[in-house]
Amino acid sequence: MSKPAAVAHPGGLLESLVLAPSGLSQSQLARHLGFNQPQPVNELVKGKRNITPKMALLLERLTASAYPAEFWLLAQLRWDLGQARDSVSPSRINLVQALELPEADTLPLEDLAAQLRGMG
């Protein structure tokens, strides 16, 4: 079984989808997001900081919803899962016994998202 392709840190998306097309510097982008210093943006671009829900909302507003908060959070989640897959050994995962759950039918992602919305 081949290993999945590496997922880019969401800071790379910030660079390619926002900084490059807008022509803004990291300092300018930080100011647009309401930060006094460029560190939050710089650390995101360098992969040293994660996209939080608050940052995702700020980026959604910044991009006029072209890239909604869910986009940024999903990018962060994919990065986090990739890091976890790289750090958890297969032997550790194989120690976990799968449960047979009632109604264990897998739901399409859209249905799962609708269920999660209904929980709030």
pLDDT one-digit tens code per residue, 29-81: 999 999 999 999 999 999 999 999 999 999 999 999 999 999 999 999 999 99
* Domain boundaries 10-90, corresponding CATH code: 1.10.260.40
Say what the pTM is. 0.78
Token pair for residue 45?
A: 């671009």
Lowest mean pLDDT among 12-16, 24-28, 104-108: 104-108
What is the C-alpha to C-alpha distance for residues 4 and 26, in angstroms, rounded to an integer? 31
How many of the other CB atoms lie within 10 Å of CB of 11? 23
- Domain spans, the chain: 10-90
Q: What are phi and psi of 52, to 5 degrees?
A: -90, 165
